[in-house]
C-alpha cells in the first residue's frame, strides 16, 4: 500500500492513526516514569532519608538549573506550562500542528526536573508529548485540519490516561481542562486512544498501579458526616493551595522576565531548601501516598526538620501541616522557575496529606480519608472535578469509593469556587 493510499484510507477511517498514536503515547509515558526512576536512584543513591541531609538542597538546585540548560541550549523550544500551549494549538485559531521535537523533548527535560527532586508531576510534559505524537501521527497519515486538531487533543488526553493509568480521567482532561467540544465520533476516538495508551503503559509497567492499597476501604453510612466535613476542609485547603501557587508562579514569571538565570537559581534554591526541610516533598510522592493510605506515615516524618524540635506526640500532625503549607510553593517552584513538570500530581499528594491530617483529628478511617482527600484537593485546586474524581479512583483502583470521592470532591470544588470568586 503506497503513502497516498494510506492517507486516503486514514481520512475515511481515522482509527488507524488513533491506535498507533495510543500505543506510542503509552510507551512514552512508561519510558518517562522509568527514566525518572533511574535518575532518582542515581541522585539519591544510598542516602538515609531518616536523617537531615544537605544534599537535598544541592539536588533540587541542580535539577532546575540543568533543566534550564537543556531547554535553552539543546532543545531550544519553550516547554513550561504546556497545557496552555495545547489549548492554543487546538483552539479556534490553532491548526493542530506541533513540532516533532515535542514528541521527546518534554520527557527528557521533565525527567531531569523530577529525578533531581522536583516536587511536581509528570502529567503536563506527557500531555504535551501525547499531543505532539497525535499531531505528527495525524500529519503522517494525511488527516484533514479538523481531524488533525482532534487527534492532537486526543493525544493530550491519552497522555494523561497513560501516566495515571486512568482512561476516563484522561478523557475528562480533554473535555474539562482543554474544554474541547466534540461530537460522538470524536468522543469515541478519544475514548479509544485513552484506553489504548493507558493499557499499554499498564502492561509495560508490570500491571501495577502507581499507588497500591492493601485494603479495600468502604464507606459506612455513619461516616457520611465526616466525608462532608472532609470535603469542606479540602475546599478551604484547595483555595489556599491554588492562591499560593498562583503567587509563586507570578513571582518566578517576573524573575524570569528580568533574567532567565535569576529565575532558575532562585527557584532551584527555594526548592532545595524545601526538600531539606521536608524530604517527603521529593518527586511525585506516590510511594509515600501509598504507605500513608496503608497506615504507615513514617516516611512523611523521616528526615523532616520537625524531628529536631517537636515532641513525639505532636510530631506527625505538625509535620503534615508543614507539608501542606509548603507543597504548592514547592510544586510551582519546580515548574515555574525553569523546571518542566506538571501541576496535577502535586494536588493528589497534597490531598492525601490533608486526608491523613483529617483522619488524625477525627475517627475517619485513614485509607478512606487519604483517597477522598486526594480527589477533593485535586478538584478544588485544578478546577476540574470530574477529572479529579476519576483519576483518583482509577489510579488507586478503588472504584468502590466513587461515591464518597465524588461527594468530597464536589463539596471541595464548590467551596473553593466561592472562596476564589470563580463560577
Q: What is the pLDDT of residues 195-220, one digit of tens each?
A: 999 999 999 988 888 777 777 777 77
146 and 26 in a common domain = yes
Per-residue pLDDT at 11: 53
Residue with cell 470521592: 405
251 and 179 in a common domain = no
Model confidence at 222, pLDDT cuts 50, 70, 90, reads: confident
In a domain, 72, yes or no: yes
Of the candidate ranges 80-89, 122-131, 302-311, the one whose mean pLDDT is the lowest: 302-311
Task: Return the SS3 of 97.
Answer: coil
Q: What is the pLDDT of residues 248-288, one digit of tens each?
A: 999 999 998 888 999 999 999 999 999 999 999 998 888 88
In a domain, 216, yes or no: no
Q: What is the pLDDT of residues 343-394, one digit of tens each?
A: 999 999 999 999 999 999 998 998 999 999 999 999 999 989 999 999 999 9
Could you tell me if 399 and 221 are in contact, meaning their C-beta atoms sit under 8 angstroms apart? no
123 and 86 in a common domain = yes
Is the pLDDT assigned to residue 18 strictly greater than 60?
yes
Residue 343: C-alpha distances to residues 87, 121, 127, 261, 390 (Å):
16, 6, 12, 22, 17
Model confidence at 12, pLDDT cuts 50, 70, 90, reads: low
Residue with cell 463560577: 423
Residue 37: C-alpha distances to residues 112, 340, 414 (Å):
10, 16, 37
288 and 159 in a common domain = no
The string of DSSP codes covering 266-308 is HHHHHHHHHHHH-GGGSSS-HHHHHHHHTT--HHHHTT-GGGG
Residue 127's nearest CA partner among 101, 93, 162, 96 is 162
Could you tell me if 355 and 132 are in contact, meaning their C-beta atoms sit under 8 angstroms apart? no
187 and 291 in a common domain = no
Q: What is the pLDDT of residues 349-359, one digit of tens each?
A: 999 999 999 99
Tell me the residue range of the domain where 389 lies. 221-419
Per-residue pLDDT at 143: 83
| pTM of the predicted model over 0.85 | yes
The domain total for the chain is 2
Indicate which CATH number applies to the domain containing 23.
1.10.3080.10
Per-residue pLDDT at 380: 94
In a domain, 111, yes or no: yes
398 and 258 in a common domain = yes
In a domain, 145, yes or no: yes
Residue with cell 483555595: 239
For the chain, the first-to-last Cα distance in angstroms comes to 52
Per-residue pLDDT at 312: 74
394 and 336 in a common domain = yes
Task: Count the neighbouring beta carbons within 10 Å of the beta carbon of residue 48.
Answer: 9
Amino acid at each position: 500500500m503506497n503513502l497516498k493510499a494510506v492517507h486516503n484510507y486514514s481520512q475515511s477511517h481515522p482509527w488507524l492513526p488513533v491506535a498507533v498514536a495510543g500505543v506510542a503515547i503509552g510507551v512514552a509515558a512508561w519510558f518517562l516514569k522509568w527514566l525518572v526512576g533511574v535518575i532518582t536512584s542515581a541522585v539519591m543513591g544510598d542516602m538515609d532519608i531518616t536523617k537531615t541531609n544537605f544534599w537535598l538542597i544541592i539536588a533540587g538546585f541542580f535539577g532546575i538549573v540543568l533543566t534550564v540548560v537543556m531547554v535553552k541550549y539543546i532543545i531550544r523550544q519553550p516547554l513550561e506550562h504546556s497545557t496552555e500551549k495545547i489549548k492554543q494549538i487546538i483552539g479556534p485559531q490553532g491548526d493542530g500542528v506541533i513540532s516533532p521535537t515535542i514528541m521527546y523533548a518534554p520527557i527528557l527535560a521533565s525527567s531531569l526536573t523530577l529525578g533531581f527532586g522536583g516536587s511536581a508531576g509528570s502529567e503536563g510534559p506527557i500531555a504535551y508529548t501525547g499531543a505532539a505524537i497525535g499531531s505528527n501521527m495525524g500529519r503522517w497519515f494525511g488527516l484533514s485540519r479538523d481531524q488533525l486538531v482532534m487527534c492532537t487533543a486526543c493525544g493530550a488526553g491519552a497522555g494523561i490516561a497513560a501516566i495515571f493509568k486512568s482512561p476516563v480521567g484522561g478523557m475528562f482532561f480533554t473535555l474539562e481542562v482543554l474544554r474541547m467540544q466534540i461530537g460522538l465520533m470524536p468522543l469515541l476516538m478519544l475514548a479509544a486512544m485513552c484506553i489504548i495508551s493507558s493499557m499499554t503503559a499498564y502492561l509495560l509497567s508490570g500491571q501495577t498501579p502507581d499507588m497500591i492499597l492493601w485494603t479495600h476501604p468502604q464507606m459506612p453510612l455513619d461516616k457520611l458526616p465526616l466525608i462532608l466535613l472532609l470535603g469542606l476542609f479540602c475546599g478551604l485547603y484547595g483555595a489556599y493551595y491554588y492562591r499560593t501557587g498562583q503567587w509563586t508562579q507570578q513571582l518566578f514569571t517576573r524573575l524570569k522576565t528580568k533574567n532567565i538565570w535569576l529565575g532558575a537559581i532562585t527557584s532551584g534554591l527555594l526548592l532545595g531548601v524545601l526538600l531539606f526541610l521536608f524530604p517527603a516533598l521529593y518527586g511525585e510522592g506516590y510511594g509515600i501516598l501509598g504507605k500513608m493510605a496503608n497506615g504507615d506515615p513514617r516516611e512523611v516524618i523521616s528526615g523532616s526538620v520537625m524531628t529536631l524540635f517537636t515532641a513525639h506526640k505532636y510530631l506527625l500532625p505538625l509535620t503534615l501541616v508543614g507539608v501542606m503549607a509548603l507543597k504548592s510553593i514547592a510544586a510551582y517552584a519546580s515548574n515555574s522557575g525553569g523546571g518542566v513538570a506538571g501541576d496535577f500530581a502535586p494536588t493528589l499528594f497534597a490531598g492525601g496529606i490533608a486526608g491523613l491530617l483529617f483522619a488524625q483529628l477525627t475517627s475517619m478511617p485513614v485509607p478512606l480519608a487519604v483517597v477522598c482527600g486526594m480527589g477533593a484537593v485535586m478538584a478544588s485546586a485544578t478546577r476540574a472535578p470530574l477529572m479529579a474524581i476519576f483519576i483518583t479512583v482509577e489510579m488507586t483502583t478503588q472504584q468502590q469509593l466513587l461515591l464518597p470521592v465524588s461527594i468530597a470532591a464536589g463539596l471541595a470544588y464548590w467551596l473553593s469556587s466561592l472562596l476564589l470568586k470563580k463560577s
